[in-house]
Amino acid sequence: MTPSVHAAQQPLKAQYRDAPGAAWVVDHARTGGDAADPFHAVVEPMDGCGVRVPVGVHAAVGGPHDAPTPGDLLCAALAACQDSAVRMVANLLGIELLALEVRVTASVDVRGTMAMDRTVPVGFQAMTCDVRFQAKEDTPPELLQKLQVAAERCCVVQQTLKGPPTVRTTFTHG
């Protein structure tokens, strides 16, 4: 039996209506590894989860590119979030998905990050999120359109990238 998003969310929605503050969550990630290695680290994407993802530096900026780069992880975060949003919205709308794949690509001019040209921004200049899915053949087209609009609207990572929050960085020495 397919799990029901509606059944899982119904008590949460009631809780959040009564106590809006309970709807606030905080996600975490932290890095580690050999601080003397300029090209490698590990990232734990959720405190205490036990999953450690190796991270490397892209060949375009001098690294060996032998592990996913931070840019790859950003693409992975968007792909994973959009995939989850499509699956959950499809479940809520009663759409039976037969196949789903999300591919994210991002383009960056690395001269910015290498401080070669101050007119070149540091960061990705373009990202594309390509969602390919197949639904049961008799699914009404208007329902598929509703799925697409709702899944894009409720993808937290995509909406964060479209309207980024303020990011504050602190450095502590010692």
For residue range 73-123, list pLDDT tens digits in order. 999 999 999 999 999 999 999 999 999 999 999 999 999 999 999 999 999
| Whole-number Å distance between alpha carbons of 153 and 174 | 43
Whole-prediction pTM: 0.94
Q: What pLDDT is recorded for position 2?
A: 82
Q: What pLDDT is recorded for position 138?
A: 96
| Whole-number Å distance between alpha carbons of 153 and 9 | 17
Domain ranges in the chain are: 1-68, 69-174
| Whole-number Å distance between alpha carbons of 84 and 77 | 11
* Tokens (6 digits) for 69: 């780069």
Average pLDDT value for residue range 38-57 = 95
Q: What kind of architecture, by CATH, is found in domain 69-174?
A: 2-Layer Sandwich (3.30)
State how far the alpha carbon of 39 is from the alpha carbons of 44, 74, 170, in Å: 17, 18, 22
CA atoms within 13 A on the CB side of 40: 10
